[in-house]
Amino acid sequence: MSVKVGEKAPEFKGQAVVNGEFKDIKLSDFQGKWVVLFFWPLDFTFVCSTEIRGFNEHYGEFKKLGAEVVGASTDSVYTHKAWIEHGLGDVQFPLLSDTSLEVSDAYDVLVKDKGIALRGTFIIDPEGIVRSYTINDLDTGRSITETLRTL
């Protein structure tokens, strides 16, 4: 599938860590809200933790704009939970596990030969339409304030 601005976002579903617990989530759970879906390559890495903490730090601003934030990587929910408990700290939004690689592939961020995701950020409107996206290479971080501005 190819993601296009102005078209329906691919449905995602899977298990996530939400408030320290494992929970099944899907894009349609957020119907009627803006969604900022972002991908990162791997847990327990420096740039990834900086970005997740940045989204967490600005989470209240996203909420004021009517948006929910969902983070995703190809790591397991067990790895996400371990990272939260041993270094990342509390996270106010879901961290989705994409061990099947299906979500990363549907959003065109999957690096197939490595089984990890590029740094993709997708802004999806309340009707489920992709309004903006950016995809950065593995070593190129993103600006959370730019994501807020775009939203």
pLDDT digits (tens, 9 = 90+) for 9-33: 999 999 999 999 999 999 999 999 9
For 35, residues 6+ apart whose C-beta sits below 8 A from its C-beta are 9, 27, 67, 68, 69, 70, 122, 123, 124
Domain ranges of the chain: 31-134
Pick the CATH number of 31-134 from 3.40.30.10, 3.40.50.620, 1.10.10.10, 1.10.3720.10: 3.40.30.10
Provide the edge-to-edge strand list for the sheet that holds 13-18: 21-26, 13-18, 95-97, 67-73, 34-39, 119-124, 130-136
> Within 10 A of 127 (CB to CB), how many other CB atoms are there?
10
The predicted-structure confidence for 42-82, as pLDDT tens digits, reads as follows 988 766 678 899 999 999 999 999 999 999 999 999 999 99
Going through 27-129 in order, the beta strands assigned E by DSSP cover 34-39, 67-73, 95-97, 110-111, 116-117, 119-124
Token pair belonging to 104? 């990363």
pTM of the predicted structure, to 2 decimals: 0.95
Where in the sequence numbering do the catalytic residues fall? 48
